[in-house]
Amino acid sequence: MKPYLADPKKTKELLARHEFLIKKGYGQNFLIDPSVPEGIAAAAGLGPEDTVLEIGPGIGTLTQYLAAAAGRVIAVEIDRKLEPVLADSLQGFSNVTVVWGDILKQDIPRLLAEHGVTPPVKVVANLPYYITSPILMGLLKQADLFSSLTVMVQAEVGERMAAAPGSKAYGYLSVSVQYYAEPQVVLSVPPHAFLPQPKVSSAVVRLEALNGPAAPCRDADFLFAVSKAAFLQRRKTLANALAGYAPLGVSREQAEAALAELGLDARIRGERLSLREFAALSDILRDKTRLNDK
């Protein structure tokens, strides 16, 4: 069956038929421009051999395009009131299974096993903007389950995910995402592509899952804490920023000594460090803080 729902008139008819009220609390904005779901499906590189894990199918607009391109779609939706809507919009798309629940509470390996799916799968999602980071990082920490993730996010978030060291957009999210995957912004999406229109533009980002961390370190959580400290107060030197972040337990002297070991100026700011430099720095600082505990 061919996709048909990315159309303002048909979307409004579907919502009216089921007397469905759009919920801002779930970040519900439905696509009404067919070029966008077409572009997302193309960016995901879907084929009949692929299984897609879709997060937040909503009324099924993107789901239809995924089902037309992939062999199978497992869609996880939190809003149970969408059940009659999805039963209507996905009628005729026999390769779609809807799972009702919160993606943050799903045991994804178990979910895939229960549906007879062997990883890796491809993730495709129009992520709710208010909860993008928790969902994204939860997925990336299980990156071995996925060959790629193609997600629509707020444009500013997409820019930060793909940002390079030294750029204004580079920060904690850049380091965290790039540790697990290689991101690329593949599509820009204007507000008028949605019903209702959001106040911001969106971007589609494809993340190619890596075979292991991009910059191995002994403690990924400590690495993320170091990078978080580095960007909490961007105008501070990195040594001062690290010393000022209490959860790390790092003194300014230790921070400066660690930077010196890496051949970095004590006055450098966090935005100048590459992911590999952050990983090396975190290993050195981790050793120094553990010495303090002895």
C-beta of residue 56 within 8 angstroms of C-beta of residue 125: yes
Cα–Cα dist 290/294, whole Å: 7
With a CB cutoff of 8 Å and minimum separation 6, the contacts of 279 are 179, 213, 215, 216, 217, 223
Q: 218: which 2 tokens? A: 């002994």
Answering whether pTM is above 0.75, one says yes
Same domain, 201 and 252: no
Q: Rounded mean pLDDT of 165-181?
A: 97
Q: Rounded mean pLDDT of 49-68?
A: 97
Residue 3: inside a domain: no
Residues 110-148 pLDDT 10s: 999 999 999 999 999 998 888 899 999 999 999 999 999
Domain of residue 232, CATH code: 1.10.8.100
Cα–Cα dist 71/65, whole Å: 12
Task: Tell which wins on pLDDT, 292 or 36.
Answer: 36
Cα–Cα dist 276/266, whole Å: 18
Same domain, 94 and 59: yes
**Local structure of 223: helix, strand or coil:** helix
Residue 214: inside a domain: no
Q: Which residues pair with 73 in a beta bridge?
A: 52, 96
Q: Which residues pair with 72 in a beta bridge?
A: 51
Reported confidence tier of residue 1, pLDDT bands at 50, 70, 90: confident
With a CB cutoff of 8 Å and minimum separation 6, the contacts of 150 are 40, 43, 44, 122, 123, 124, 125, 186, 204, 205, 206, 207
HSE toward the beta carbon, residue 245, CA cutoff 13 A: 23
Same domain, 182 and 265: no
Same domain, 234 and 193: no
* Overall domain count for the chain: 2
Domain of residue 162, CATH code: 3.40.50.150
Same domain, 183 and 282: no
With a CB cutoff of 8 Å and minimum separation 6, the contacts of 35 are none
- Beta-strand pair 51-55/121-126: parallel
30 burial via Cβ count (<10 Å: 0-12, 13-18, 19+): buried
Q: Rounded mean pLDDT of 281-293?
A: 81
Structural domain that includes position 199: 8-209
Q: 210: which 2 tokens? A: 């890596």
HSE toward the beta carbon, residue 193, CA cutoff 13 A: 21
Same domain, 143 and 39: yes
Same domain, 15 and 141: yes
Residue 215: inside a domain: no
Residue 249: inside a domain: yes
Residue 1: inside a domain: no
Same domain, 107 and 243: no
Same domain, 46 and 99: yes
Mark residue 260 as left, alpha or beta (left: phi above 0; alpha: psi -120 to 50; beta: remaining).
alpha
Last residue of a domain, one of 155, 185, 209: 209
Cα–Cα dist 233/246, whole Å: 13
Reported confidence tier of residue 294, pLDDT bands at 50, 70, 90: very low
Please give the pLDDT value at position 291: 52
Last residue of a domain, one of 153, 188, 209: 209
